[in-house]
Chain A
Amino acid sequence: MAGKLGMNVDLANQVAASISGHSSGLGLIEQQLYLARSMSLNPLNFALNPGALILAPASITMAASASADLANVRQTLDYLVLKLSQEATQQAQVSNSLDPTDAGWFAPGPTANRPDAIGVFENEWDAFGIFVNVGNYVLLGKDLLDVAGQAITKWWDNAPKWVTTGADIAMKGGKFLPFVGTAFSVTGVFTDWDDDNVWGNTRNIIGASLDVLSVVTLIPPLTPAAPVFAAAGLVWDVVDTVWDVFDDPWW
């Protein structure tokens, strides 16, 4: 028998090649959508691209959904291309095997399997890229600090004598700063006393108390508590300042 049966392999290959080419074009659009979402969801990316337009909130989910559509289309196209090529090859082999000297009867059937659908959020891991990126920036920052630390250490080792001496004196003097600061804080309670502002007086007393505690706890074995009171005192100072501004914008 001279005739061929089944699909024309050349035509099938042409179709398969065309599908593959178009699939890569869809991949570029998917990348555009990724950029749009990445810019819209990650303030750091946005900050690095001044003037960039970002997606409206309702559009972010829609962009994710469109992206998932395209991802599904592309993986399905890959599968269909493979299936088409395998089918054409098998049919060609079976057709050839009509020649009794050809062993094409053993031509394997198509093995391509339909891929599982990609869900919106499955494809959308990059929507949470902000966390990944923040993590990357933290690691980058850590590396930069390491490098900066090494540079500072190197500089300090070779620093002029007057710099190291000055720093030693400052550090020795610095030990007394909490006592000086506490003295000012306690004095402030009395100098800022206002009979018409009970809550203001109370805030000052709380601040001064925390300062006193941060100094008193420097005495062993209370020492571990000192940083806690010092930190609490700092936080309280910030709160107190904000409260003052809130009470009196001209403060």
Chain B
Amino acid sequence: MNLSDAQFMAAAFQIRATEAALTSQLSRLRDTQQWTGPDAERFYTEWETDVRGRMLSAAMKLEALSLVPGL
């Protein structure tokens, strides 16, 4: 399989799209106000730090990857 810069960019785009889709889902859940309290806050905090932050970080790293051409 020959990897290309375009594939990394596409993967980064996919991660960002996934992040947006999941954030939208979580917002939907949060907006209902059906689940509140410390457990819910912990859930949303873990989402922000352990999932959303890491996804955006991974996307940025993928966009910065470079390949050695012409070997």
Asked whether, in the complex, the Cβ of B39 is within 8 Å of the Cβ of A80, the reply is no
Q: Give Cα A63–Cα B62 distance, bound, in whole angstroms.
A: 7
- Pair B65/A63 contact, Cβ less than 8 Å: yes
Name the interface residues of B9-51: CB closer than 8 Å to any CB of A: 11, 14-15, 18, 21-22, 25-26, 28-29, 32, 34-35, 39, 43, 46-47, 50-51
Mask, A45-77, CB within 8 Å of B = 1, is 010010111111011001101100110110011
**Chain A min CB distance to B28 (Å):** 7
Select one of A18, A52, A70, A76 contacting B50, CB under 8 A: A76
What secondary structure prevails in chain B residues at the interface with A?
A: helix
Q: Name A's interface SS.
A: helix
Residues in chain B near residue A58, CB distance under 8 A = 66
Interface of B with A (CB < 8 Å)?
1-4, 7-8, 11, 14-15, 18, 21-22, 25-26, 28-29, 32, 34-35, 39, 43, 46-47, 50-51, 54-55, 57-58, 61-62, 64-69, 71
Interface contacts beyond A32-B3, A56-B68, A87-B39: sample of 5 additional A-B pairs, CB < 8 Å, sorted by A:
A11-B28, A11-B34, A12-B29, A52-B2, A70-B55
